[in-house]
């Protein structure tokens, strides 16, 4: 996996070993981030079920001010932290190792607000509806946010 465009274009990203995560395909990331470009400059991005961080780190590469990357799988978090260090974005990216519901609660308590939210839960769960409900209740969305959910169709 690699960063496709922006300041870190071409930089390789580590991916976790094993089948516990599924990186968003390059074609999907290209379409997604190209579509989101009007909202990215200066945005605060929340990447839920972040895996190795392909979407959140790509958003930083394209001008987002900050990305919070939430992932609970230990191997994915290891790759995610390595990717943040490799890109040198430790001050612009925060890795949260936790369940999404608990992370949303903690972010709300801390007064965090996000302009762009991306969620890509495992396909074998019903976490899209559950996460969207939790996101709506958590009070972490900025005014006029953009929320994108990837799911199996």
Choices 3.90.1150.10, 3.40.50.150, 3.20.20.300, 2.60.40.1760: CATH for 41-149 = 3.40.50.150
- pLDDT grade for 144, boundaries at 50, 70 and 90: very high
**pTM assigned to the model:** 0.90
Q: What is the mean pLDDT of residues 2-29?
A: 79
CA distance 59 to 50: 12
Q: What is the pLDDT of residues 40-75, one digit of tens each?
A: 999 999 999 999 998 999 999 999 999 999 999 999
Angle, vertex CA 29, rays to CA 38 and CA 135, nearest 5 = 70
**Domain residue ranges in the chain:** 41-149
């Amino acid at each position: 996996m690699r960063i496709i465009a922006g300041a870190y274009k071409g930089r390789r990203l580590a991916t976790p070993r094993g089948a516990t995560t599924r990186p968003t395909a390059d074609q999907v990331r290209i379409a997604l981030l190209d579509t989101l470009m009007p909202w990215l400059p200066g945005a605060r991005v929340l990447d839920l079920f972040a895996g190795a961080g392909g979407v959140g780190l790509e958003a930083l590469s394209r001008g987002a001010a900050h990305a919070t990357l939430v992932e609970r799988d230990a191997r994915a978090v290891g790759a995610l932290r390595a990717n943040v260090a490799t890109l040198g974005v430790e001050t612009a990216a925060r890795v949260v190792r936790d369940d999404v519901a608990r992370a949303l609660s903690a972010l709300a308590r801390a007064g965090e607000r996000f302009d762009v939210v991306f969620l890509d839960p495992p396909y074998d769960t019903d976490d899209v509806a559950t996460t969207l409900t939790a996101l709506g209740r958590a009070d972490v969305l900025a005014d006029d946010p953009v929320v994108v959910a990837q799911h199996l169709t």
